[in-house]
Structure 1
């Protein structure tokens, strides 16, 4: 899928025209959303290629409006023209009308911005050889590299409007390193990008050496006593904690009474200097998109500005209920499922950089990895997770802190960020990305 082709475009147009015409025959307005996706996956471990796959998937989602109702149906087939989609969507619309949950029809899509023009990512022979070589390991190291390259083509066609479409793609590399020393040390890390060569350059020169060093350190004998002056929570851990409270920043959570931030717009909810912005079109977004699953143009949506709550994410339905404009945050699932409100590229920033790990005259506990949540509550923000950490002495020496427990409240953490370490990490859930740096804080507790 190197770019739009005349045959594919013609096939898509014919399919969506057929569904729109069938809907019109039933007296309904219609909109057709189509996905075509190609995914390369490669697993390399200990210098060998263990698994390779190339899978094509797709979906067709149909929305219809008739007699004041809105209905929806989906098939896991790209460019479907099955008339049964229309009858199913009309039946769903009648059922939803009985619940009173029917937003007004949207205006026909205009001409929202285009996606960045970047080459589609591929795991070609050169990338395969680089990944195989990088996974060689040795000397007590087990290196596994799981790589995935997605290439997607999205098309949206509304009755009475010209079809819209864009191509996009993302590369994901999951590095898993196990080291053997006094014990066994393990570190996992997710990397993302738009270009396979650029991502592999970054992994080879920066990320892989750092991760190998961490794995060896975590395999060493832990310090006998956990004592420190300052706490640094790595971005790998922070983004997982932030992901726990993403629902609090969704307008549908506010309307349903599930967000503790409801009715707090304009209040201080984070430390001065903290901003939280969702922008799927940002230059650093791993998966750039020009508009959401409903055709609403995407752009920056500020949720927190200088510590003050300034907004929420919304799709067309929730925005209509609240009497506001949607933020372009209506995302469809991998099979074209009904739109839900989700961030695209949610980035936390802080104005003060305090550097990484070493502080003269101070002992720092650097929490480098989260190992799963023992308990977590997305409504209250309370959490307790297992983690790995490193103790950095006043002279810069680094020791294994061993397995620890990290506990606290994510909303309280936002209000107690002293600064950041300047290193952005990213967490992914389907096509939603949450990003942020490591943060210095005194609001969390640790134990063994």
Structure 2
């Protein structure tokens, strides 16, 4: 990769431009197993090269797929810069390279893994188990003209379980697991997750109770991470600068429940995709957005930080084909303070929302939402009943302010290289109906 970046930077310099090259070689293995057998196996490799140039006060940009050394990429980027006109000046060259390990993870789905996955899908006759595994590996290079290239290798494992139970009805539950190693993810699946999901699918296959009567509400982390996604844009500095964030001007104000924290940290031990620096070369570090429910700051990239007169939080991330960096979290984790577990409180009936079935309406600016979901009722005698299909409505910002506790089971949601993490939350901030 360094040969291509050196050529492109030298070509840009010959045309009087400053430049920066980002290259990525991405490998993916995928396995689909069902009924004790491997149904599909796919392996793919893709490459991409992105070039940014600065000349005469303008910034230009071009992407080449597949990657490689091509002088036409420089001419395209310069032409884009001329067409766009003036822009922010070129960022200063870093005086020291961003720190971080070069080798972080290289997960692979080999034959032994395929056999283990297939065995996990050989379930009882009344339950269909499908497992979809994916291992991603990326070799990333970032080379600013006049600087030493930055390199790192990283990867992540994803396992999606799709469980269908047959009873008076069809009960279906899907769940995604992530991690840095194949062994760790498979151990989680075999140790507890698949048994729990199977039991839950069997409950959802029963006839629903005629009416929903409950004392408390627990929103499983599988659902909470999807609701939290609605709030993410509000914590991005570009949204603040463009007037799209309802949190603008509210720094140091309490917006969440007591003890609630929201921290973005791609370097955290439990981050499934560790990265030492973002796609602009800014070193990644913990960024606290909420502390004890109080708003402390926003995520930013190199460009948005310059506009606001501050420094980047290391949140400039490219799209899957090397698109221009935008502000995105790396590993954003919601952590309520009080643990209440996942069982009903003494003498009370708990409604547990276990799965989101798609958004009926949602608004990423206001935070209002109405979604379809599945739920179960847990009664004081330990019985579990199918609550059927429900509608969950509310506002995600009011929800953050009315979290009473958590269940201790963190779930993840993935969007390319961004991960959102949350445990299940006990809350009174929702409207529930059928």
> Structure 1 runs of 4+ off > 6 angstroms?
none
Count of equivalent residues: 434
Looking at structure 1, the residues matched to 45 and 282 of structure 2 have their Cα atoms a distance apart, in angstroms, of 27
Looking at structure 2, the residues matched to 198 and 434 of structure 1 have their Cα atoms a distance apart, in angstroms, of 19
Q: Could you tell me which of 254, 264, 288 is aligned with 2:274?
A: 288
1:358 offset after TM fit, Å? 2.3
Residue 81 (1) aligns with residue 108 (2): no
Residues 323/291 of structure 1: CA separation in 2 closer, same or farther (3 Å cut): same
1:104 offset after TM fit, Å? 3.7
Counterpart of 1:197 in 2: which secondary structure? helix
TM-score in terms of structure 1 length? 0.95
Matches within 5 A, 1:27-426: 27-78=16-67, 80-97=68-85, 100-108=86-94, 110-115=96-101, 117-426=103-412
1:357 offset after TM fit, Å? 2.5
Counterpart of 2:16 in 1: which secondary structure? coil
1:7: which partner in 2? none
1:443 offset after TM fit, Å? 0.8
1:444: which partner in 2? 430
Counterpart of 2:288 in 1: which secondary structure? strand
Moved more, 46-55 or 100-109: 100-109
Contact 1:385 1:406 in 2 (8 A): yes
Q: Which runs of 5+ in 2 are unaligned?
A: none
Residues 109/243 of structure 1: CA separation in 2 closer, same or farther (3 Å cut): farther
Counterpart of 1:71 in 2: which secondary structure? strand
1:109 offset after TM fit, Å? 6.3
Contact 1:175 1:189 in 2 (8 A): yes
Residues 284/16 of structure 1: CA separation in 2 closer, same or farther (3 Å cut): same
Kindly provide the CA deviation profile for residues 307-336 of structure 1, in whole angstroms up to 9, marking residues without a partner as x.
111100010111111111011100011111
Kindly provide the CA deviation profile for residues 191-242 of structure 1, in whole angstroms up to 9, marking residues without a partner as x.
0011101110110111100000000110011111100000001111100000
Kindly provide the CA deviation profile for residues 136-185 of structure 1, in whole angstroms up to 9, marking residues without a partner as x.
23321111111100011001111111111000000001110110111010
1:103 offset after TM fit, Å? 4.3
Looking at structure 2, the residues matched to 165 and 116 of structure 1 have their Cα atoms a distance apart, in angstroms, of 6
1:41 offset after TM fit, Å? 0.5
Looking at structure 2, the residues matched to 106 and 57 of structure 1 have their Cα atoms a distance apart, in angstroms, of 31
Counterpart of 1:367 in 2: which secondary structure? strand
RMSD: 1.1
Contact 2:276 2:283 in 1 (8 A): yes
Contact 1:357 1:366 in 2 (8 A): no
Counterpart of 1:214 in 2: which secondary structure? helix
Contact 1:65 1:105 in 2 (8 A): no
Looking at structure 1, the residues matched to 161 and 263 of structure 2 have their Cα atoms a distance apart, in angstroms, of 28
Kindly provide the CA deviation profile for residues 245-281 of structure 1, in whole angstroms up to 9, marking residues without a partner as x.
2111110000000000001111111011000000111
Looking at structure 2, the residues matched to 376 and 179 of structure 1 have their Cα atoms a distance apart, in angstroms, of 30
Contact 2:156 2:178 in 1 (8 A): yes
Looking at structure 1, the residues matched to 322 and 117 of structure 2 have their Cα atoms a distance apart, in angstroms, of 32
1:102 offset after TM fit, Å? 2.7
Looking at structure 2, the residues matched to 282 and 76 of structure 1 have their Cα atoms a distance apart, in angstroms, of 32
TM-score in terms of structure 2 length? 0.98
Contact 1:103 1:321 in 2 (8 A): no
Kindly provide the CA deviation profile for residues 8-32 of structure 1, in whole angstroms up to 9, marking residues without a partner as x.
xxxx222111111110110011111
Contact 2:102 2:152 in 1 (8 A): no
Kindly provide the CA deviation profile for residues 58-93 of structure 1, in whole angstroms up to 9, marking residues without a partner as x.
100111111122111111123x11001100111111
